[in-house]
Amino acid sequence: MIKNVLLVFLVIHATLANSESASKKWLTLNGRRPCVIARGGFSGLFPESSDFANQMALATSLSDVVVLCHLQLTKDGVGICQGDVRLDNTKNIAMVFEKGSRTYKVNGQDLTGWFAIDFTADQLLANVSLVQNIFSRPSAFDAMLPISTVDDVRSSNPPAFWLNVQYDAFYTENKQSVTNYIQKATRLQGVNYISSPEIGFLKKIKGLVNKAKTKLVFVFLDKKATEPTTKQTYGSILGNLATIKTFASGIVVPKDYIWPVNAANYLEAPTSLVNDAHKLGLEVYASGFANDFTTSYNYSYDPSAEYLQFIDNSQFSVDGLITDFPPTASEAVACFAQYTDIKPTKEQALIISHNGAKNPFLAAAKNELQNNRNIPQISQQPFRVKDGVAFCLDSVDVTRDTTAAASFMSLSTTIPEIQDSAGIFSFDLSWSDIQTLQAQLTSPFESKGGLPRNPANKSKGKFLTLAEFLELAKVKAVTGILINIENAAYLASQKGLDIVSAVNTAFGNATFGKQSTQKVLIQSDDTSVLSKFMNVPAYSRVLYLKDEISDAPRTPVEEIKKYADAVTLPRFSIVPTVNGFTTGTTKVVNEMQAANISVYVSVLRNEFITLPFDYFSDPTIEIATYTSGIGVDGIITEYPATASRYLRNPCSSNSMPDSSYSIIPAEAGSLLKTVPEETQAPASSPTPALDVADVVDPPLPAVTKPASPPPASPLPATSPHSKALQNIANVGLSLVAIMAFTLLSLMCN
């Protein structure tokens, strides 16, 4: 049953027939496009070299994808595919054969674990199952799938097959012959690539394979590691590439051999390795690619950007990419490399940058406005400070995105109408106070295991007033702008601030209400705020429905129509998830669009920890799912460059004019069907449907100036203070100091 469902899923994601565009010129050794090498199949999703992993790699990748198997030998000489010489890291073997652990010397190091050479193929295939060994990947398929033999992988009919022999010296020392196995494998099955980090093995096998059909490739390990045959470090061997040409046609190198990354996690200048190897006639394959590994900040958590760095620069292109996520490498090669931007069409979804790519400050704003396809959402909330200046910031609480806590902790307070936690609020500061603060570029995931965002620019830029932002938008001639307004009722009744008038005045001064070339979106979670903008035809009103919903019945939708032209929905209101898997698609988008209400989905992010497994840890697949698959009218994203690249590329269409590959949206719920019901999490409480009460808000209160504090009472004339009173005063001051220190400690924690 599980396999049948998987096959349906694979058909949905099948690629088109191969027909590489003749117009593309690559800087590879042979001038052809780089190949995609699937390490253990689609090992980023399913256990390495399992049947599911291999089938998925074939169905979601370029039609000439290479499937790589790390060869290990059993006690009776059967080849199995397994990345580590020890089986206990990716198998449940320790539970099955509790007393099977042994210690061997492998390349000079003592390793303890369960080794294939201690078990027959029948013992392993009949009793041992595969598990994922990387925690960010789904564990739902653990203990479901058996070990794959080399014959099993070959029977899936990959277009090309790669055997990597990591431990020939170890097997030779233990009376096993990898060479004999390879001779049999190449004669009976055909192997397109054989690689190894051992020079002695490659020299030994060189005369035993058909050079026209099988390429020999030398694998570089860590530069400080020692190569078993020559006893040299791999770093020293790198300095004499000419010797490699005598026994191999190519090399595999870790990706930082080509693009080094410094201690701060930023890219350095590329090395000359690829060009040096190409001059000698050696192909270069880069290894170590995975969508769910933390990479250089230069890539903005976008795995496609990293692949493009290796294949689409003006200096060189590697000849192949070895990856755990072959569909993402395929889209980089077939869709994004060497394509110039195509002209956007009216039918394409809008790209709305969430708070200026999550950096609501002048430097980021200017960069975002360069791309006039975006509708910048720089101004999440145009708050008026207490002296009447409206400025742009993500939240009314300035604690998170600025350095306010260091200077204005005495102003920290709790306002239940706005948020549960204490904060320092912008309306309690003057504009001159705001200008003393530094920006703090933060990540929503820093408290969940890291993933900071561009720390080198954490405090760069200055704050924009609303007037400055509108002027910048006009100068850059962007497609449009979005202004989000929140807490209007509280500001009016408690702080005497009319945020609606502030926005109207700023837009009037900028003449946005008298033009139609630039789209203006006024967004609010309050229908009473939106009603204040109904008399300006140039403005589109957007209702922000913050809470997740499962359905949008006719009556509340009709109420929305009275106030808004569009809605912004959380992404899980459109594609719900459970334990990292999508469960299906709601009808909410269709129900809104049937009433002529546009739908924007919020908020999309690149970080892999926010992506359901159905999207392959690839933000491009999520974008494709919401735009090409579901048909939302716009996406609100903190990484607009990723969305822009997809929507400006021919792969965003289901019909490719000159390429073999199309980026297929995820079929929500299909991957979950491959998980046995007995291992799935129990169903959670259903998300409620939208109700009229969720839509209609009471009228905005009148703007009321806050009452002035009562004047201080004059101190009565008294005799000089006694020591007792002085001691009481000192105790009082001490208590205040203790309370302030305690509050500061709580805020810092």
Which residues of 211-330 form beta strands (DSSP E)?
215-219, 250-254, 283-289, 320-323
pLDDT at 363: 43
Rounded distance between C-alpha atoms, residue 737 and residue 63, angstroms:
70
Q: Is the pLDDT of residue 741 over 50?
A: no
Question: At 23, is the pLDDT very low, low, confident or very high (cuts 50, 70, 90)?
Answer: low
pLDDT at 655: 45
SS3 state at 610: helix
Q: What is the 3-state secondary structure (H, E, C) of 432-489?
A: HHHHCCCECCCCCCHHHCCCCCCHHHCCCCCECEHHHHHHHHHHHCCCEEEEEECCHH
Rounded distance between C-alpha atoms, residue 570 and residue 354, angstroms:
13
Read off the pLDDT of residues 710-724 as tens digits, 9 standing for 90 and up.
444 444 443 343 333
Q: What is the CA radius of gyration of the chain?
A: 31
Q: What is the DSSP letter of 259?
A: S
Which amino acid type is present at position 47? P
Q: Is the pLDDT of residue 599 over 90?
A: yes
Question: At 733, is the pLDDT very low, low, confident or very high (cuts 50, 70, 90)?
Answer: very low
Q: For residue 304, give both structure tokens.
A: 């496609």
Question: At 379, is the pLDDT very low, low, confident or very high (cuts 50, 70, 90)?
Answer: very low
Which amino acid type is present at position 309? Q
pLDDT at 6: 55
Residues 169, 190 contacting (CB under 8 angstroms)? no
> Average pLDDT for residues 621-641, to the nearest whole number?
95
Residue 104: enclosing H or E segment and its boundaries?
strand 102-106
pLDDT at 723: 35
Question: At 265, is the pLDDT very low, low, confident or very high (cuts 50, 70, 90)?
Answer: very high
Q: What's the mean per-residue pLDDT of the chain?
A: 86
Read off the pLDDT of residues 169-214 as tens digits, 9 standing for 90 and up.
999 999 999 999 998 877 767 899 999 999 999 999 998 888 889 9
Residue 300: name the closest of 438, 137, 457, 449 by CA. Answer: 457
> What pTM does this model have?
0.89
Residue 677 has phi, psi (to 5 degrees) of -60, -35
Rounded distance between C-alpha atoms, residue 403 and residue 89, angstroms:
45
What's the distance, CA 735 to chain centroid?
A: 48
Rounded distance between C-alpha atoms, residue 573 and residue 586, angstroms:
7
> Average pLDDT for residues 86-91, to the nearest whole number?
85
> Average pLDDT for residues 405-434, to the nearest whole number?
92
Rounded distance between C-alpha atoms, residue 670 and residue 421, angstroms:
40
Read off the pLDDT of residues 669-719 as tens digits, 9 standing for 90 and up.
999 998 888 777 777 788 999 999 999 999 999 998 876 654 444 444 433
Q: Is the pLDDT of residue 47 over 80?
A: yes
Residue 298: name the closest of 456, 504, 113 by CA. Answer: 456
Question: At 628, is the pLDDT very low, low, confident or very high (cuts 50, 70, 90)?
Answer: very high
**Percentage of residues in the chain having pLDDT higher than 90:** 63
> Other C-beta atoms within 10 Å of 662: how many?
21
pLDDT at 746: 33
Read off the pLDDT of residues 2-15 as tens digits, 9 standing for 90 and up.
555 455 555 554 44
Read off the pLDDT of residues 441-469 as tens digits, 9 standing for 90 and up.
888 876 666 788 888 887 777 788 888 88
Task: Give the strand pairing for 215-219 and 193-196.
Answer: parallel
Rounded distance between C-alpha atoms, residue 659 and residue 653, angstroms:
11
Residues 618, 606 contacting (CB under 8 angstroms)? no
Q: Is the pLDDT of residue 117 over 60?
A: yes
Q: Is the pLDDT of residue 642 over 50?
A: yes
Q: Is the pLDDT of residue 395 over 90?
A: no
Residue 644: name the closest of 654, 634, 629 by CA. Answer: 634
Question: At 310, is the pLDDT very low, low, confident or very high (cuts 50, 70, 90)?
Answer: very high
Rounded distance between C-alpha atoms, residue 167 and residue 454, angstroms:
40
Please give the C-alpha separations between residue 697 and each of 468, 469, 527, in angstroms, as whole numbers: 31, 29, 6
